[in-house]
């Protein structure tokens, strides 16, 4: 397939914010995609070339892209950089300079989707001496053949800056509309931005089948290829050890009564730990792999946890869900997440840091055991299985502290015990509920008595003044609106330290954000939305200043949420809910 056809779809998707219209655009396009191209196309529509659990990185920053553009067009890096400062978008710069060059000397041939996909993937495989030159040539090869619009999206894909608003719901529905429309009869009307369905029950059946396949693969590229072959192929997709699935997420409530009303009585009540999720996999061959909630493979960073799992969990193959929590070696008391967060990214001195910052693995769910998918089993049954197969060893691996009760006073007592142990609060779980990957459903509830903090994405930053002039010291923070866009909700600068040894510092934040700078104007910098921070505040106010329509009063940065990706930031709907809750209290 010609890459230009995919680019046409990118352009159409960019022109609408309506989810149903995006779904229609994708579904119409997918009808003409061959079986050979379908996986490449789906991944490129998602703005990447590797599944989201694949740890490989392209290793291309803005400077290397400037060099590649210069190599492809013959225009000096200085001129391209000046244009970049004007436009603030390297993809747009690529389109403009390639368009100008096409009118004179730049050669153009038809680019195939596979060629673009293969060249971009090869970028991650290059290492050693001469890597920069070889990467430059691979990118320049594509740009030399690309049309102006094609060059724009090639650059955006490589830099990880694709923002075309294709969410999981739109992709799932598009697969159903494309490959099963003869069964469900979906008709989309652009004027009313609505759909007509011949039989809603059958429609929901196919939606459920595609969602179930995605739940166990975590990859729409695989799901789409199976769906193109037919329903039987889709239903034959199974969970695989070594390929992480999205973890089940919890809803938040403000009262114990509300929690019981949601999950039912009696309920399983567990400590809510202030650590980070670990999804542990063991294969039939005895290989153990560990994944975070962002699906990052952190096996090498946690050799201690690998040993805990190897020695204390019975079974040839399994996948379980847990929380790794740091603790004070002298007192045994749990520590806040920030104390151990550095272990997630650490690549060197692993043994030393594991001794300096030990963790205890608190296991609370199991989703696969000895070849059986358990996500549709009742939680009560899954918990009992864990009790049979885990040999508990405090300060290494234990079952999450839990009790089953209907009594509010007993919960209040358990809550105090949790907080006194250094935890955040409690989790409420429905005893008869399945495990629902990637969803916030009423099967699992979190309860904390303090004002709810917000997880927000840094989308901009500002260089400081005086002794802070060398640091990015003020940060534009954003939540996610209903269309998946980041909308600003304020600026935060307090909570950080000037000295590294005192905690999260301006220097550490600058190191994180500087490589993510997209453009600069004066002291203000626009950054790629990658860093998630937890923010506390005094109050949420309505505000015409920010595009979200809200502003945080006296925001303060608590910590970096290295365990969360930007797509997991709080939504604008949630901010509105908190705002309304303030008015009632």
* Catalytic residue numbers, as ranges: 272
Would you state the torsion angle of the CA atoms of residues 487, 491, 497, 501, taken in this order, to the nearest 10 degrees?
10
Radius of gyration of the chain (CA): 25
Are the CB atoms for 259 and 447 separated by under 8 Å?
Answer: yes
In a 10 Å sphere around its CB, with 0-12 CB exposed, 13-18 middle and 19+ buried, how is residue 290 labelled? Answer: buried
Question: 107 in the Ramachandran plot: left (φ > 0), alpha (ψ -120 to 50) or beta?
Answer: beta
Q: Which long-range contacts (CB under 8 A, 24 or more apart) does 490-498 make?
A: 490/546, 490/551, 490/552, 490/555, 491/462, 491/555, 492/533, 492/535, 492/552, 492/555, 492/556, 492/557, 493/557, 494/554, 494/555, 494/556, 494/557, 495/556, 495/557, 495/558, 496/557, 498/467, 498/468
Angle at 240 between CA 236 and CA 242, to 5 degrees: 160
Using CA atoms, how far apart are residues 43 and 517, in angstroms rounded to an integer? 25
Rounded to 10 degrees, the C-alpha dihedral 220/247/287/238 comes to -40
State the burial class of residue 488 (Cβ atoms within 10 Å of its Cβ: 0-12, 13-18, 19+).
buried
Strand segments, DSSP code E, in 395-523 are 397-399, 402-405, 425-430, 440-447, 454-463, 472-480, 486-492, 517-521
**CA distance linking residue 494 with residue 534, whole number of Å:** 12
Distance CA 250, CA 578 (A): 16
CA 475 to each of CA 35, 197, 516, 557: distance values in angstroms, whole numbers, following the listed order? 45, 46, 13, 10
d(CA 573, CA 158): 31
What's the rounded Cα separation, in Å, for the pair 292 and 263?
A: 26
Is residue 291 within 8 Å of residue 563, measured between CB atoms?
Answer: no
What are the two backbone dihedrals, phi and then psi, of residue 553, each rounded to the nearest 5 degrees?
A: -90, 125
Cα–Cα nearest to 406, from 414, 398, 417: 414
Question: CA distances (Å), 388 to each of 202, 366, 384, 395, 428, in order?
Answer: 40, 12, 7, 19, 22
Cα distance between residue 545 and residue 563, in whole Å? 30
Give the angle 297-301-307 at the CA atoms, nearest 5°. 100
């Amino acid at each position: 397939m010609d890459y230009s056809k995919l680019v046409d779809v990118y352009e159409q998707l960019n022109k609408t914010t309506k989810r149903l219209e995006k779904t229609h655009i994708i579904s119409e396009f997918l009808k003409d995609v061959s079986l050979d191209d379908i996986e490449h196309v789906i991944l490129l529509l998602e703005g990447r070339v590797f599944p989201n659990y694949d740890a490989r990185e392209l290793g291309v920053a803005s400077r290397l892209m400037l060099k590649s553009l210069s190599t492809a067009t013959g225009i000096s890096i200085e001129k391209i950089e000046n244009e970049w400062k004007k436009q603030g978008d390297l993809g747009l710069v690529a389109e403009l300079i390639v368009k100008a060059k096409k009118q004179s000397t730049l050669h153009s041939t038809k680019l195939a989707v596979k060629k673009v996909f293969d060249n971009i993937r090869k970028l991650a495989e290059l290492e050693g001496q001469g890597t920069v030159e070889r990467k430059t040539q691979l990118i320049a090869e594509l740009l030399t053949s690309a049309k102006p619009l094609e060059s724009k999206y090639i650059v955006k894909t490589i830099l990880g800056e694709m923002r075309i608003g294709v969410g999981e719901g739109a992709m799932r529905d598009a697969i159903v509309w494309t490959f099963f429309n003869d069964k469900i009869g979906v008709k989309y009307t652009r004027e009313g931005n609505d759909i007509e369905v011949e039989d809603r029950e059958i429609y929901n059946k196919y939606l459920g089948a595609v969602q179930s396949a995605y739940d166990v693969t975590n990859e729409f590229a695989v799901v789409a290829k199976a769906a193109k072959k037919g329903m039987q192929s889709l239903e034959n997709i199974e969970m695989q050890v070594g390929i992480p699935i999205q973890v089940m997420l919890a809803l938040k409530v403000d009262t114990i009564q509300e929690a019981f009303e949601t999950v039912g009585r009696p309920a399983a009540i567990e400590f809510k730990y202030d650590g980070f999720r670990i999804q542990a996999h063991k294969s039939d061959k005895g290989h153990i792999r560990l994944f975070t909630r962002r699906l990052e493979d952190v096996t090498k960073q946690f050799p201690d946890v690998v040993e805990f799992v190897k020695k204390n969990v019975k079974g040839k193959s399994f996948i379980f869900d847990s929380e790794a929590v740091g603790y004070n070696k002298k007192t045994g008391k749990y520590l806040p997440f920030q104390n151990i967060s550095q272990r997630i990214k650490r690549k060197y001195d692993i043994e030393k840091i594991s001794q300096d910052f030990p963790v205890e693995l608190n296991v609370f769910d199991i989703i696969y055991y000895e070849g059986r998918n358990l996500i549709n089993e009742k939680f009560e049954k899954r918990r009992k299985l864990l009790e049979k197969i885990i040999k508990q060893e405090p300060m290494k691996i234990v079952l999450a502290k839990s009790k089953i009760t209907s009594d509010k006073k007993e919960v209040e007592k358990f809550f105090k015990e949790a907080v006194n142990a250094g935890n955040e609060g409690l989790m409420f779980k429905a005893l008869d509920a399945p495990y629902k990957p990637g969803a916030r459903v009423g099967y699992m509830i979190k309860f904390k008595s303090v004002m709810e903090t917000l997880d927000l994405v840094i989308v901009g930053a500002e260089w400081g003044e005086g002794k802070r002039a060398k640091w990015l010291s003020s940060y534009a923070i954003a939540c996610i609106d209903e269309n998946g866009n980041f909308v600003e909700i304020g600026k935060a600068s307090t909570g950080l330290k000037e000295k590294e040894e005192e905690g999260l510092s301006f220097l550490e934040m600058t190191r994180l954000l500087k490589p993510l700078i997209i453009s600069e104007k004066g002291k203000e910098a626009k950054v790629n939305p990658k860093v998630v921070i937890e923010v506390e505040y005094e109050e949420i106010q309505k505000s015409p200043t920010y595009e979200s329509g809200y502003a945080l009063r006296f925001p303060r940065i608590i910590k970096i949420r290295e365990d969360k990706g930007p797509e997991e930031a709080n939504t604008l709907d949630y901010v509105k809910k908190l705002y309304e809750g303030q008015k009632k209290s």
